[in-house]
Amino acid sequence: MSDKKMSVAEIVTEKMLQKIESADPADWKKGWTLSGVPRNYVSNRPYSGINWWLLGFISPYRSPYWMTFRQVGDQGGRVKKGEKSSLAVFWKPRATTRINAAGVEEEVSLPPIMRYYRVFNWE
């Protein structure tokens, strides 16, 4: 990665390409041992979209449970020194309403909110 600030889409694409380029052809056969849909340990809410792939398939962990650094501390735990976090993406579509030239209220799409954050596996 370069020193320039990367967008969320660029970061995710880079991670996917790194995984593809470093993979053994045998990795592309169904052999994973994912034990459930990736989900947040505290809320028990399942991750969706690209997070399902980021946390479920390219992660080396078997546990489906993930937490932010703060959630680990709030639960009375601690992250081991040197432990690596994984990327999770927050994406939310946005829209607003406006009055057009004809005086009619219409919905207008805005760019989505896209952020990433780091999570740690329960293991």
The residue with greater pLDDT, 33 or 114, is 114
Give the mean pLDDT of 10-20: 84
Nearest CA to 44 out of 15, 16, 75 is that of: 75
> Which residue shows structure tokens 């993406």?
89
> pTM for the complete prediction?
0.66
Using one digit for the tens of pLDDT, what is the confidence trace for 72-94?
Answer: 999 999 999 999 999 999 989 99
CA distance 46 to 24: 29
Question: Per-residue confidence at 35, pLDDT binned at 50, 70, 90?
Answer: low
The C-alpha torsion from 55 through 58 and 62 to 64, rounded to 10°, is: 10
Given a cut of 60, whether residue 30 has pLDDT beyond it is: no
pLDDT tens column, 55-64 = 887 788 888 9
